[in-house]
Amino acid sequence: MVRPPCCDKVGVKKGPWTPEEDIILVSYIQEHGPGNWRSVPANTGLMRCSKSCRLRWTNYLRPGIKRGNFTPREEGIIIHLQAMLGNKWAAIASYLPQRTDNDIKNYWNTHLKKKIKKLQPAIGHNCTIPLDSTFPMHNYIQEKVTENPPLPNLCLHPSTYASSADNISKLLEVWTRSSSKSTEFTRDIQSDLSNQDGLDSFLLFENLVGDEREPSMDSEQHPPFSYLEKWLLEENSGSIERLMGMSSSANSAT
């Protein structure tokens, strides 16, 4: 039996959100917090379905979202995680708290996929990205995971709310001022991601697909599994072996 779409009801508005709708949604979430999306349209009078409200919040209105250009470091993280996890955009996004899964997915589809396609013939083998536990990103992710467990559906308090709509940002100014504590937390994450100078050269896209890498460790020398690898083990039994296989074939190809 096929369930009818939740937005099939008559009178449900579709299409781009207006600043006024954004203000209503933000005000409501400010008061009640995110969650219980079912009740949002009913309680706010928004002619939107619950899913649409949730999407608008998570992809656009949620505090702490960074919009615009991806840094080379972010590119590197995305590429590496995509190689490890596949198109698990939500999982990838949990390591880039400032980016949404939708943003990452869009960026991958419009930019990175092309870049990789372009560079693949140059590196001369099928594996797109070296998946090697000696690869610096492995340690970096592991380190970050230890310090800050992954943040699925991260809900930071407002600190760096970034919306193109000026009127919404005005509305949120008060909200923003009232949350200095969480601001510090967000700032920590931001500076963490922007101050790893030593990693810069490794995370540049060009270097990610470069072929000058250290020889692979043998199995005893593998550092402890990162959260990502644990996840792979738990959730996708067999995937890890496949990925390890990819890793070694990538190494042997160089």
Q: Which parts of this chain interact with DNA (CB under 7 A)?
A: 2-3, 5, 7, 13-17, 35-39, 48, 50-52, 54-56, 59-60, 67, 87-91, 101-103, 105-107, 109-111, 152-153
- 206 or 214: whose CB is closer to DNA? 206
**Amino acid in the structure at residue 137:** M
Beta carbon of residue 3, minimum distance to DNA (angstroms, whole number):
7
Beta carbon of residue 4, minimum distance to DNA (angstroms, whole number):
8
Segments in 45-179 forming alpha helices (H)? 50-56, 72-85, 89-93, 101-107, 113-123, 136-147, 166-177
End-to-end Cα spacing for the chain: 51
Six-digit token string for 198:
């030593």
Beta carbon of residue 105, minimum distance to DNA (angstroms, whole number):
6
Cα 106 from Cα 125, distance rounded (Å): 26
CA 203 to chain centre: 16
Beta carbon of residue 6, minimum distance to DNA (angstroms, whole number):
7
- 63 or 136: whose CB is closer to DNA? 63
Beta carbon of residue 40, minimum distance to DNA (angstroms, whole number):
8
Cα 32 from Cα 206, distance rounded (Å): 45
- 48 or 73: whose CB is closer to DNA? 48
Cα 132 from Cα 18, distance rounded (Å): 46
Beta carbon of residue 134, minimum distance to DNA (angstroms, whole number):
27
- 1 or 122: whose CB is closer to DNA? 1
- 47 or 174: whose CB is closer to DNA? 47
- 89 or 135: whose CB is closer to DNA? 89
Cα 172 from Cα 159, distance rounded (Å): 10
- Torsional sign, CA 108, 115, 131, 201: negative
